[in-house]
Structure 1
Amino acid sequence: MFSPLSVTLISGSRDAVLVDPPLTRAQADQVAAWVAASGRRLTHIFATHGHGDHWFTAGLLAERFGAEVVASAGTIEQMHRNVAIRPVFWDKLVPGQIPDAPVTATTPPGNRVELEGHELVIVEVGHSDTDETSVLHVPGLDLVVAGDVIYNGVHQFLVESGDGGRDAWRKAIDAVEALRPRFIVAGHKDKGLDDDAARTVAQTREYLDAVDELLARHTTALGFFDGMLERFPARLNPGALWGGAVALYA
């Protein structure tokens, strides 16, 4: 139905921060049970970017746990955009399954959140698979929670990648790599794969390079789609690839 969603809980001994809450009420219930079972107090909920599958249940979870929703200023702008398109896109995708989702996020001072004395740093990286994206850098764990800047075993969302978007995406990947993480949690990943930073960065770049190559080779969306499936047969959710193919050839 959709690309698998990664939700990350970064925990200290007492408190925790949740990254990229999911899309539907049912998914939020699962995440809530997971957070409650951790025994930590949830202080913040962070969204990496404005696509609704990364934050539409933030308010629901914030109310449940008394947490604060945070995001970069650019992401907050994109949240409002996704609320505006919700009736024609998100609600048609999963009818009746998304809770009310007003934009309640604020931008923390200095784009930083503290977790038991450790800084979690919001790094704005510009366009990736949408505008005004960010990642969360956790230096103490050699970790970047990358949202949709990095993919891991899943077909990448290409609908917004035209008109220089893929070159901008490559710059966002460079910004993540410059943080020198050992581990990257991708916003969409095959749960059977690890979170090795070098591999996921290389494979996300490889996919974008293949897009450029096959767009130049094929004259139709179907030809491009088939070529990408042949190149990346193991990636999950070819529906995302088809949507991108239609948009790029429109």
Structure 2
Amino acid sequence: MPPIDHLVTSGTFSLDGGTWDVDNNVWIVGDDREVLVIDAPHDADAIAAAIGDRRLVAVVCTHGHDDHVRKAPELADRFGAPILLHPGEAPLWEMTHPDRKPDRELADGDTVSAGGVELRVLHTPGHSPGSCSLHAPELGTVFTGDTLFQGGPGATGRSYSSFDTIIDSIRGRLLTLPGDTVVRTGHGDSTAIGDELPHLEEWIARGH
């Protein structure tokens, strides 16, 4: 199997009194024996089917918005795996799962690995306080959650978000990666670090 599997699940995202239909990327990283799942949005059965008979090492959540963590406990419990989340996401996580805490904290500089693939945790706040990206140097890829998309930064118009902070995160933590690094996002198409570099100054000038 390839070291990165990808599926898209559909559902809703709710925050600040609004609800929107969304499609979420789910990334499964590892080999034919064991894997990590990056984000567990809307459909535990579909994600479990993609995992198959492999061992799930952990459910790694890029951030705490409900469309990224809704099925994390169900998936983790089904496979006996821990949920990993940055502690800065506690207020958002608790909106969806008030009676269940993540099992382990993510911190900047941590590494998580499965099937010989190592992911380095980059704390990239702004979309939310504890948003994290996961860099896999050997695969030439970074999983950015909702921090960086094709064409610009993630949304910062809702609670717990900051435009200035997300720009600092992208400039300081992501655009410093090699230009050919593939950016695998929380929603939509993948891109590359080098392709996003020209967009950043435009976003800063527009201030949104």
Report the TM range for the smaller structure's normalisation: 0.7 to 0.9
Unaligned stretches of 5+ in structure 2? 1-19
| Structure with the larger strand share | 2
Percent of aligned pairs sharing the same letter: 24
| Cα distance in 2 for residues equivalent to 1:83 and 1:162 | 12
Task: Tell me the residue number matched to 1:66.
Answer: 80
Task: Tell me the residue number matched to 2:101.
Answer: 103
Which amino acid is the alignment partner of residue 177 of structure 1? L
| 1:10 aligns to 2:29 (yes or no) | yes
Residues 131-156 of structure 1 show CA distances to partners (whole Å, capped at 9, x for unaligned) of 12111111110111001111236994
Q: Displacement of 1:201 after TM fit? A: 5.2
Is the CA contact 2:167–2:204 (under 8 Å) kept in the aligned structure 1?
no
Q: Considering only CA atoms, is the larger Rg found in Structure 1 or Structure 2? A: 1
TM superposition score normalised by structure 1: 0.63
| Cα distance in 2 for residues equivalent to 1:210 and 1:119 | 36
Task: Tell me the residue number matched to 1:41.
Answer: 55
Mark the CA change 1:156 to 1:104 in structure 2 (over 3 Å): closer, same or farther.
closer
| Cα distance in 2 for residues equivalent to 1:33 and 1:207 | 41
Runs (4+) of structure 1 moved beyond 6 Å? none
Task: Tell me the residue number matched to 1:113.
Answer: 112
| Cα distance in 2 for residues equivalent to 1:5 and 1:200 | 21
SS in 1 for 2:35: strand
Unaligned stretches of 5+ in structure 1? 87-98, 216-250
Task: Tell me the residue number matched to 1:166.
Answer: 163
Cα RMSD between the aligned structures? 3.0
Q: Which has the higher contact order (CA 8 A, sep 6+)?
A: 1
| Structure with the larger helix share | 1
| Cα distance in 1 for residues equivalent to 2:40 and 2:105 | 17
User: What count of residue pairs does the alignment treat as equivalent?
Assistant: 186
Task: Tell me the residue number matched to 1:209.
Answer: 204
Task: Tell me the residue number matched to 2:91.
Answer: 81
Residues 173-197 of structure 1 show CA distances to partners (whole Å, capped at 9, x for unaligned) of 12112232621111121xxx44333
| Cα distance in 2 for residues equivalent to 1:206 and 1:34 | 39
